[in-house]
Amino acid sequence: MLMLKTLHLWMVISWFAGLFYLPRIFVNLAMVPAGSDAERDRLLLMAGKLYRFMTPLGILTIVSGLGLWLFYGFGGGWLHAKVVLVAGLALYHWHCGRLLQAFREGRNDRSHVWFRFYNELPVIILLMVLFLVVLKPF
C-alpha cells in the first residue's frame, strides 16, 4: 500500500505542476498582441502539449486516490471534504480544456488579469487539501 501511496503522491505533484502552469500560459496568450501569430501559435502548442500530458496524470491521481480510499476505508468527514475538493480540481482541469479550445478558436474574451486570478484557484484548493490530509480536523 505504501507503493500505491507513493505513486499517488507523485501523480498529484505532477498533475498540480500542470494545473499551476497551464493558466500561466493562458495569461501569456491573453497578452499576445494582435498580429503576433508566431507567438500565439507557440503558446497554443505549449498549452496543448501540457494539457495532453497532465490529463492522464489527473486521471491516474484520481484512480490511485480511490484505491487508497477503498484500502483505508470511507471514514472521516475530512476525507469526504477532500473528495469534494478533488472533484472541484477535476472540474477546473476540464474548464482549462474549454479555455484552451476557446483560445484555439479565437474566442477568448477574458483579460490576462482574470487569468492571473484564475491561476490561484488550484493553489488555494491544494492548501485546503493539505490541511485536511495532515490535520484531519473532523
Averaged pLDDT score across all residues of the chain: 96
User: Residue 10: which domain range?
Assistant: 2-135
Q: Are 16 and 61 in contact (CB under 8 A)?
A: no
How do residues 6-56 score in pLDDT, each as one tens digit?
999 999 999 999 999 999 999 999 999 999 999 999 999 999 999 999 999
pTM of the complete model beyond 0.85? yes
How do residues 91-105 score in pLDDT, each as one tens digit?
999 999 999 999 999
User: Which residues lie closer than 8 Å to 26 by C-beta, 6 or more apart?
Assistant: 47, 96, 99, 100, 103, 115, 118, 119
- Helix and strand numbers (H, E) in the chain are 5, 0
Instruction: Give the total number of structural domains in the chain.
Output: 1
C-alpha cell at 118: 484564475
